[in-house]
Amino acid sequence: MKHVLVRRATAAVLPLALIASAFAMPAMAQEFPADPGQFWDVTGIELKDGGGFAYVKWLAAEWKKDQEFAKSKGWITGYKVLSNLHARDGEPDLYLVTMYDDMPNGAESIQQRKEYFEWQSKSVARLNEESGNRLEIRRVMGTSMLQVLQLK
């Protein structure tokens, strides 16, 4: 009988505790020591032997041109190329970083893609071919989507 009363008491108190914690959430959120900031899309690049100059030349011409177009449209807030000066085995040599204040929804992404291809004047097939040609000078190691935490 004692166990039944404990279970019933617990069953009665549990919903009250959940309701109380729901009201406490906004107060806890206000006390969090950081606010969400920009999104950073970071791609790690391994340069193949002898390919560094050619790849950085491509970045300074084609990649930069694409990034400047996206920035002029307000799609991104900035971009950077970071060099890993002391890359250990298995680490990228370069990091390509693109910064966004907001992520586009599906309809916005479709519209951006349409505007990009109108501006680019290259077909998807041509862009894929050019990307494949860069396999000789670099390897994409992976991409991460990070979000800045603005410390209070």
Torsion over CA: 5, 11, 14, 19 (sign) = negative
- Spatial neighbors of 142 by CB under 8 A, at least 6 apart, are 43, 44
Greater pLDDT, 29 or 145:
145
User: What's the CATH number of domain 34-151, 3.40.50.720, 1.10.357.10, 2.60.40.1120, 3.30.70.100?
Assistant: 3.30.70.100
Compute the radius of gyration of the chain from its Cα atoms. 25
**Range from 13-17, 32-36, 58-62, 85-89 carrying the lowest mean pLDDT:** 13-17
Q: Alpha-carbon distance 80 to 95, whole Å?
A: 8
Average pLDDT for the chain:
86
Q: Enter the pTM of the model.
A: 0.75
112-127 pLDDT, tens digit each: 999 999 998 888 888 8
25-69 pLDDT, tens digit each: 565 556 899 999 999 999 999 999 999 999 999 999 999 999 999
> Domain residues of the chain, as ranges?
1-31, 34-151
Q: Alpha-carbon distance 19 to 13, whole Å?
A: 10
Q: Which residues of 45-67 are buried (b: 16+ CB within 10 A; e: fewer)?
A: bbbeeebeeebbebbeeebeebb
90-116 pLDDT, tens digit each: 999 999 999 999 999 999 999 999 999
